[in-house]
Amino acid sequence: MQTSTHRIEPIVASALLQRVFYCVATLAVVSLAIAVAGRFLGHGISLGGHTEDTSMQEIVIGNNVLELPANMIRFGKQRRSGVAERVDVYLHWPDMQGYKAEYIRDFNGSGPEKRMLFATFEPRATAKDMSGRYGPVYSTLTLGSGIGGPAELTIQALRPDSGFVNEEVVVSPERAGHALFVARCLDAETSKSNLASCQRDIFVGDEIQLTYRFPREMLKDWRQLEQQMQAFAKAHIKGQE
């Protein structure tokens, strides 16, 4: 008589294999999830707060409506349409474009040249813009007639008691029918470690001002810079074209 034999699998070994299988399967799922998330989130993380989104945002400041692409708006919380007290923008110079992947080194301040402009639209804080304040304010705080600077500019040091530490006033020659170009800059030595060491404000739109900051190295291009900033304001404030 033949005796049939049945192979009996050890219960412990079977349970162990099951646990190993589930662990491997879980790790595979987690790895897949990380890979998928990396594809979607990795690019965003590498942007470091910048965006390539060019959708237009309508921002209302006082009686002005500004139309700005999101990639020109510096801070994420300001990249939305609606009423705001101010909006900060940054631009790549000289093309006056917002953030693009090809400009990432310049936007992060690690490029071989300083090519960034920073600007703020906000309600007027003074009765006169910087050009108008030169005569009654800045000229009275200087140490003397100054020295010659690039592109016919004059650079005047500010007195230590003026409240402007390590700063100078830069002023253009008078030209009939043109406002003076006036900017405050950190001195040449201090500017070396600063991405945008000069500042100027102009009145634009309806009772708002545009304050823009730029590298001291751009002073030689002040005529082009001023023209571009005036044109930028007109192009992005509705009704100003």
pLDDT-based confidence at residue 20 (cuts at 50, 70, 90): very low
**Given this model, what pLDDT does residue 15 score?**
54
Q: 165 — phi, psi (to 5°)?
A: -80, 130
Q: 50 — phi, psi (to 5°)?
A: -80, 165
Residue 61 has pLDDT above 70, yes or no: yes
At 163 the three-state DSSP class reads: coil
The answer to whether 224 and 214 have CB atoms below 8 angstroms apart is no
**Given this model, what pLDDT does residue 177 score?**
86
The answer to whether 45 and 104 have CB atoms below 8 angstroms apart is no
**Given this model, what pLDDT does residue 142 score?**
95
- Please give the model's pTM, rounded to 2 decimal places: 0.80
Q: 208 — phi, psi (to 5°)?
A: -125, 160
Structure tokens at 41: 């989130």
d(CA 174, CA 12): 95
d(CA 93, CA 116): 6
Structure tokens at 108: 């992060």
Instruction: Count the residues in the chain.
Output: 241
Per-domain boundaries in the chain: 56-236
* Chain segment 137-177, per-residue pLDDT in tens: 999 999 989 999 999 999 999 998 999 989 999 999 998 88
At 77 the three-state DSSP class reads: helix
Residue type, 46: S
The answer to whether 233 and 161 have CB atoms below 8 angstroms apart is no
Q: What angle do CA 130, 185, 196 make, to 5 degrees?
A: 105
Which whole-number Å values give the CA distances from 166 to 64, 184, 188, 198, in the listed order? 35, 10, 9, 12
- How many C-beta neighbours within 10 Å does residue 123 have? 13
